[in-house]
Amino acid sequence: MKRYALSILLGLFIAAGIGGYYIYNAADRLPAFRLTALEGNADEAARIELSGSYGGRMRSEFLTVGTDGSDYRSRQSLYTQFISGSREWFTREPGIKELTAEHRRFMRGKGSPSGFYRDKEWLIYVKPANLNRNRPDEKEVIHISLLNLASGKTKQLQATVREGRSLLISDPIDVQRIGTELHIVGAQWSNSSFPDRQRSEYRDYVVDMTSGKLIREIKLNPGFVSTKETEYAINFVTSDKNIDPDDYCIIVVNENKVRAGKDGNSIESVATHLYSYSYKTGQLTALPESLSKGKPSYRVDYGLTGTQLHSLEYQPTYIRLMRYNLDTGGTPDEMTITAKQLGADKIQSALLEDDRLYVLLHRSSTAIAAVLNAADGTLLYKGEAVYDGPKAEAAASLADLSLLNLNLKP
């Protein structure tokens, strides 16, 4: 036994050292936080996820806080971080997780979130072909996969857009079905102008769902032409839940002034123009300028819920929500809510989904989440991030917590 003392000691040393380290690490907890209701219905906050960092350690720890507690990224398992957390850019899109759970086989190999459409009868996926720009002989085709939800049968179609010319179509911006017609909205570039956004054209490709033939193309062109001094950039706004049926999509035209300087051009956003496109009628309609009043900024969001277009502007002291019915038209409804009304000093961010306005506020350094009814501004829920532990440690822990973003769980 004495002869083997060195090896035995080494074995015990390893077990004690590394075992002790991981036992200590298991007991080493970062402070826990929770989103706790101050007033209203706690169920309204079930999807809220506040994210930010905890700075009480040497290196900041990224975390999310919700009604079920806090989750630190560094404490997540490898599997959670790299496997179940992979392709989050895809799985976090509204409706995608549900589709993958219900139609696992159909969803294989499909990676463009805006290419999906689902109604009571069909689940449809649209993807343009990946073309080689140096092969002008290749046809531009759109691949369409259809799943009949009643029978479970799938069908593949190919709609040829162009023959003999090299045109590129982006991933679909929106896909809608009207009867047996499939409407696919996408950007199109000629070979020479790719990938210049200012020189792209937007079209609604209307395809026959039974034969796969391209019936017609509708140019979605509000009529703005970029010049040296003024640039027009086009974006689209589709339904909050992009996979659901919709009657409209919104075209947002950002007008930018180009100023030549000695260090290159600078761009300043000066105005925004909104248009609605009706899939049923094929009409492009200019929307009231009041919906996009004020200087464009990252604090202005447009969204579409059914036939309701909303324009959400959030500034540090107020939120302004405008709603406009695309079917009936008329004057947009306007609602302004101040940070003071919500019992806070500053509005950090806001987002609108499914007729609910979710707001992240700060009162001194305390993060507050509020949920309001977007139709009338009624407060449905208000909660704050609190320390989930002994009261004596609360102040110090909360002082190091910084929650700056609000997201909704898929």
Binding positions for other proteins, rule: CB under 8 A: 3-4, 6-7, 10-11, 13-14, 16-18, 20-22, 24-26, 28, 57-59, 74-75, 77-79, 82-84, 86-87, 90, 100, 104, 108-112, 127
Beta bridge partners, 217, equal 205
Paired tokens of 314? 């959030």
Alpha-carbon distance 253 to 274, whole Å?
6
Nearest to 275 by CA among 336, 316, 221: 221
Instruction: State the nearest-atom distance from the C-beta of 46 to other proteins, in Å.
Output: 26
DSSP string, 173-191: SEEEEETTEEEEEEEEEET
| Helix, strand, coil fractions of the chain, as percent rounded to 5 | 15, 45, 35
106/318 with CB nearer other proteins: 106
Alpha-carbon distance 359 to 250, whole Å?
24
Q: Specify the DSSP element, H or E, that contains 397.
A: helix 391-399
Instruction: State the nearest-atom distance from the C-beta of 81 to other proteins, in Å.
Output: 9
How many C-beta neighbours within 10 Å does residue 31 have? 21
Strands 356-363 and 122-128: unpaired
Instruction: State the nearest-atom distance from the C-beta of 28 to other proteins, in Å.
Output: 6
For residue 120, give the amino acid letter.
Answer: K
Q: How many angstroms separate the most distant Cα atoms in the chain?
A: 95
Cβ-proximal residues to 380 (8 Å cutoff; 6+ apart), any chain: 40, 41, 44, 356, 371, 372, 373
16/267 with CB nearer other proteins: 16
Instruction: State the nearest-atom distance from the C-beta of 256 to other proteins, in Å.
Output: 29
DSSP string, 88-125: HHHHTSTTHHHHHHH-TTTTTT---GGGEEE-SSEEEE
Helix, strand, or coil (residue 293): coil
Q: In this structure, are residues 366 and 399 in contact, taking their beta carbons and an 8 Å threshold? A: no
54/381 with CB nearer other proteins: 54
Instruction: State the nearest-atom distance from the C-beta of 106 to other proteins, in Å.
Output: 12
115/332 with CB nearer other proteins: 115
Strand order in the sheet with 401-408: 69-72, 61-66, 48-54, 401-408
Cβ-proximal residues to 310 (8 Å cutoff; 6+ apart), any chain: 302, 303, 304, 321, 322, 323, 324, 352, 374
Alpha-carbon distance 42 to 209, whole Å?
44
21/290 with CB nearer other proteins: 21
Instruction: State the nearest-atom distance from the C-beta of 280 to other proteins, in Å.
Output: 31
Beta bridge partners, 92, equal none
Nearest to 117 by CA among 209, 200, 47, 187: 209
Paired tokens of 8? 């035995």
Instruction: State the nearest-atom distance from the C-beta of 78 to other proteins, in Å.
Output: 5
107/300 with CB nearer other proteins: 107
Instruction: State the nearest-atom distance from the C-beta of 2 to other proteins, in Å.
Output: 12
12/42 with CB nearer other proteins: 12
Instruction: State the nearest-atom distance from the C-beta of 186 to other proteins, in Å.
Output: 16
174/231 with CB nearer other proteins: 174
14/270 with CB nearer other proteins: 14
12/38 with CB nearer other proteins: 12
Instruction: State the nearest-atom distance from the C-beta of 4 to other proteins, in Å.
Output: 5
